[in-house]
């Protein structure tokens, strides 16, 4: 990122910075405007060109979805490239959770949003590979914030058999030793799946499911620590304490996972689902479609009144007023 944050009023092409709204995994987030429209700017260092190219390629070929941030444009400024995204000015899921500390029942709806976003990626043969609360953005909804999966810098194409295959990969981890070092040294104890342990293993769609399970669990446990790399407070997944020391869940047995989940999550239905997502064996984790179907059974629907119903009700009230007025006038 640029050494100095962008000040309100700074112009990046046709986009005018309004304010900073947070910090993501790769850079700062800003609310911006172009005319009357609002957008979110997210920066990346120019020396991370592989990440810029990868994300632009992925987003350009991805159909739009309510729960995946929409790529609009990119603008160069200083030593950074800024992605112009749809308006997500609430910021990151990480920052929102730390600030608001919502109850578990509310979190179920956010979980459902993310599951639907991941399903959209998987249906389009995209393995995200970097799911964490800093790579989920929030936009204002009618009744609550809406989660949107973001940052496809590390994403790869996969196939329907839950393996990466010969579909052209924009990003090939084998040609980026610095990327493998980044994954294994900084992220392995946070939101990465067991597959990261083996340098020869590959990422799968099931890898995203494991990471999503850790996000769900972290949302409820809300363990906050200061991250020196990002210079901000971060939500960390819970760990298991053993005689040998503290062990991250991706290194734990299924029994350890079940005991940890049961101690944190109140809902029995969510416990079962999260334990399945965190299964050490990738082939035994639910697929994204199964995850979404299961969550429909316990996520409370948003109580919104359809616009069509409101219009019909308004017309009915207006008609009653006209009839009553006419009748009173006639009787008089």
- Would 131 be classed as within a structural domain? yes
Question: Do 62 and 204 belong to one domain?
Answer: no
Question: Do 23 and 124 belong to one domain?
Answer: no
- Would 313 be classed as within a structural domain? no
Chain centroid offset of residue 200 CA: 27
Number of domain units in the chain: 2
Q: Looking at residue 190, what is its pLDDT?
A: 82
Phi, psi at 284, each rounded to 5°: -100, 5
Chain centroid offset of residue 294 CA: 19
Residue identified by tokens 């007025």 is 325
Cβ-count burial of 66 within 10 angstroms (0-12 exposed, 13-18 middle, 19+ buried)?
middle
Question: Do 101 and 76 belong to one domain?
Answer: no
- Would 248 be classed as within a structural domain? yes
Given a cut of 50, the residues of the chain with pLDDT beneath it are: 1-2, 160-162, 164-166, 185-188, 305
- What predicted TM-score, i.e. pTM, was given to this entire model? 0.83
User: CB of 291 within 8 A of CB of 112?
Assistant: no
Question: Do 71 and 152 belong to one domain?
Answer: no
| Residue whose C-alpha is closest to residue 188's, from 132, 137, 144 | 132
Query: How would DSSP label each residue in 98-151?
Result: HHH---HHHHHHHHHHHHHHHHHHHHTTEE----SGGGEEEEE-SSSEEEEE--
- Would 325 be classed as within a structural domain? no
Give the span between the Cα atoms of 246 and 191, in whole angstroms.
16
Question: Do 62 and 179 belong to one domain?
Answer: no
3-state secondary structure of 81: strand
Give the span between the Cα atoms of 138 and 107, in whole angstroms.
13
Long-range contacts, stretch 326-329, CB < 8 angstroms, 24+ apart: none
Give the span between the Cα atoms of 2 and 8, in whole angstroms.
15
User: CB of 25 within 8 A of CB of 134?
Assistant: yes
Phi, psi at 234, each rounded to 5°: -130, 145
Give the span between the Cα atoms of 118 and 285, in whole angstroms.
14
Query: How would DSSP label each residue in 171-223?
Result: S-GGG-HHHHHHIIIIITTTT--GGGG-TT----HHHHHHHHHHHHHHHHH-E
Domain limit, last residue, from 24, 53, 86:
86
* The two structure tokens encoding residue 172: 């090939």
Could you tell me which residues are beta bridge partners of residue 102? none
Q: Looking at residue 1, what is its pLDDT?
A: 46
| Residue whose C-alpha is closest to residue 84's, from 70, 68, 98, 101 | 70
Q: List the CATH number of the domain containing 246.
A: 1.10.510.10
Question: Do 30 and 56 belong to one domain?
Answer: yes
- Would 320 be classed as within a structural domain? no
- Would 260 be classed as within a structural domain? yes
Q: Looking at residue 188, what is its pLDDT?
A: 44
Cβ-count burial of 261 within 10 angstroms (0-12 exposed, 13-18 middle, 19+ buried)?
buried
- Would 318 be classed as within a structural domain? no
Q: Looking at residue 305, what is its pLDDT?
A: 47
Query: Which one-letter DSSP state was computed for residue 187?
Result: I
Q: Looking at residue 183, what is its pLDDT?
A: 52
User: Which structural domain range is residue 240 located in?
Assistant: 92-295
Question: Do 25 and 117 belong to one domain?
Answer: no
Query: Which one-letter DSSP state was computed for residue 154?
Result: T
């Amino acid at each position: 990122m640029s050494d100095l944050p962008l000040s309100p009023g700074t112009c990046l092409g046709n986009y005018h910075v309004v304010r900073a709204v947070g910090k993501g995994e790769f850079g700062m987030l800003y609310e911006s405007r172009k005319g009357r429209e609002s957008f979110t700017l997210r920066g990346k260092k120019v020396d991370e060109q592989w990440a810029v190219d990868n994300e632009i390629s992925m987003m350009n070929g991805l159909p739009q979805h309510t729960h995946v941030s929409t790529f609009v444009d990119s603008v160069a400024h200083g030593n950074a490239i800024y992605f112009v995204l749809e308006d997500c000015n609430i910021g990151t899921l990480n920052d929102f959770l730390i600030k608001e500390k919502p109850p578990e029942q509310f979190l179920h709806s956010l979980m459902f949003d993310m599951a639907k976003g991941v399903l959209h990626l998987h249906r389009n043969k995209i393995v995200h590979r970097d799911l964490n609360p800093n790579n989920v953005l929030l936009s204002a909804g009618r009744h609550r914030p809406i989660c949107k999966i973001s940052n496809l810098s590390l994403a790869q194409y996969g196939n329907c058999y839950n393996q990466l295959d010969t579909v052209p990969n924009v990003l090939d981890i084998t040609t980026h030793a610095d990327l493998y070092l980044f994954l294994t040294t900084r992220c392995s104890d946070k939101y990465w799946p067991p597959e990261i342990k083996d340098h020869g293993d590959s990422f799968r769609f099931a890898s995203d499911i494991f990471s999503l399970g850790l996000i769900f669990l972290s949302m409820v446990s809300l363990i906050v620590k200061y991250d020196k790399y990002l210079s901000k407070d971060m939500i960390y997944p819970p760990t298991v304490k053993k005689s040998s020391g503290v062990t991250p869940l991706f290194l734990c047995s299924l029994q350890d996972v079940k005991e940890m989940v049961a101690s944190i999550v109140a809902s029995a239905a969510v416990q079962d689902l999260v334990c399945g997502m965190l299964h050490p064996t990738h082939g035994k984790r639910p697929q994204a479609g199964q995850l979404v179907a299961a969550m429909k059974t316990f996520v409370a629907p948003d109580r919104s009144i359809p616009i069509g119903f409101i219009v019909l009700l308004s017309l009915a009230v207006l008609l009653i007023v006209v009839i009553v007025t006419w009748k009173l006038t006639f009787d008089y």
